[in-house]
Amino acid sequence: MKKSILLIVIMLAAVGTMQASNILVAYFSWGGNTKALAEEIQRQTGADIYRIEPAVPYPTDYNTLAYTIARNEKETNARPALKETNQDFSRYEYIFVGCPVWWFDAPMIMHTFLETYNFAGKTVIPFCTYYTAAYETLNDIVNATPNSNHLEGLGVSGASSYDSNAIGAWLRRIGLDQESTAIGSVEKTDKPVQSSIYNLNGQKVSDNGNTDGLAQGIYIMRGKKFYVK
Ligand SMILES: Cc1cc2nc3c(=O)[nH]c(=O)nc-3n(C[C@H](O)[C@H](O)[C@H](O)COP(=O)(O)O)c2cc1C
């Protein structure tokens, strides 16, 4: 009896400390390559995931899509309608925005999406998949979110699965792998934000953001890495 009460208390405590992710992976994918990359990013970050879909589905035939619909959308600077326009993304701080390269750029539906949802003040991380090269696609997403902060993006050759080590290395570089965000999440409470600093082993080395006396090296504050000289 005592044991089961203890178990319930532990479970309730665990639920109490669980928190919703503040990271979103929003992606558009026609053939599935970008979907697979988005899902790998989700797997490695613990993010929520959202698929951007057109109100009118694109044709399944490649030639019709590429040489008629997509080219026409680009030439006319179209804003193809979204299937959904009433999502609430306000609680996300970090938003991965991904798509395939279509005619050297992001598909026009990405512009509809980024103009519909306001990511001002949030941090946008672009990613894309391609056949030959990313060309201007990552810049296109950055330019379409002028009031957001940005982290280094990722463009990769499209595939049905991806090298998880390479994706992991990128996520660590930008401080959004699960280890870094778990450390950052220590501060996400209702209390006033303290700028605690952690070393790369996850040990707290400062309560108040003061770097005096810290040895030279990389540290983490509010989920972001920085360097002490
Ligand atoms: C309409 C269309 C245009 C494309 N234009 C390009 C391009 O300009 N450069 C390129 O490298 N790949 C291009 N591709 C290939 C896709 O970017 C690539 O196959 C991508 O991984 C597909 O992602 P998805 O499966 O998520 O749709 C194009 C594909 C389509 C359907």
Whether residue 199 is contained in a domain is answered as yes
Higher per-residue pLDDT: 81 or 186: 81
- Both 159 and 105 in a single domain? yes
Helices and strands counted in the chain (H then E): 8, 10
Whether residue 80 is contained in a domain is answered as yes
Average pLDDT, stretch 11-36? Answer: 80
pLDDT digits 0-9 by tens, 145-156: 999 999 999 999
Cα 103 to middle of ligand 1, angstroms: 7
- Both 38 and 131 in a single domain? yes
Whether residue 7 is contained in a domain is answered as no
Q: For position 181, what pLDDT does the model report?
A: 81
Mutate to test the pocket of ligand 1, among 101, 105, 136, 137 (most ligand atoms within 8 A of CB): 101
Cα 203 to middle of ligand 1, angstroms: 44
Whether residue 15 is contained in a domain is answered as no
Cα separation of the two ends of the chain: 56
Whether the per-residue pLDDT at 109 is higher than 90: the answer is yes
Residues with beta carbon inside 6 Å of ligand 1?
A: 29-35, 62, 65-66, 70, 100-104, 129-133, 158
CB atoms within 10 A of CB 196: 18
- Both 166 and 193 in a single domain? no
Average pLDDT, stretch 43-48? Answer: 96
pLDDT exceeding 70 applies to what percent of the chain? Answer: 80
Contact 129, 34 (CB under 8 A): yes
- Both 173 and 194 in a single domain? no
- Both 92 and 201 in a single domain? no
Reading the block at residue 176, the tokens are 């959004």
pLDDT digits 0-9 by tens, 161-216: 999 999 999 999 999 998 888 765 433 333 333 466 777 666 678 877 778 888 88
Whether residue 4 is contained in a domain is answered as no
Whether residue 73 is contained in a domain is answered as yes
Average pLDDT, stretch 55-74? Answer: 98
- Both 159 and 200 in a single domain? no
As for how many domains the chain has, the answer is 2
Contact 38, 49 (CB under 8 A): yes
What ligand 1 atom has the least distance to the C-alpha of 99? 26
Mean pLDDT estimate for the chain: 86
Whether the per-residue pLDDT at 77 is higher than 50: the answer is yes
What ligand 1 atom has the least distance to the C-alpha of 66? 1
pLDDT band for 223, please (50, 70, 90 cuts): low
Whether the per-residue pLDDT at 36 is higher than 80: the answer is yes
Average pLDDT, stretch 31-37? Answer: 98
Cα 57 to middle of ligand 1, angstroms: 17
- For the whole model, what pTM was predicted? 0.78
String of DSSP letters for 26-88: EE--SSSHHHHHHHHHHHHHT-EEEE--BSSPPPS-HHHIIIIIIHHHHHTT--PPBS-----
Give which of 85, 159, 153 is closest to 118, Cα–Cα. 85
Distance (Å, whole) CA 128 – CA 109: 14
Domain of residue 209: give its range.
189-228
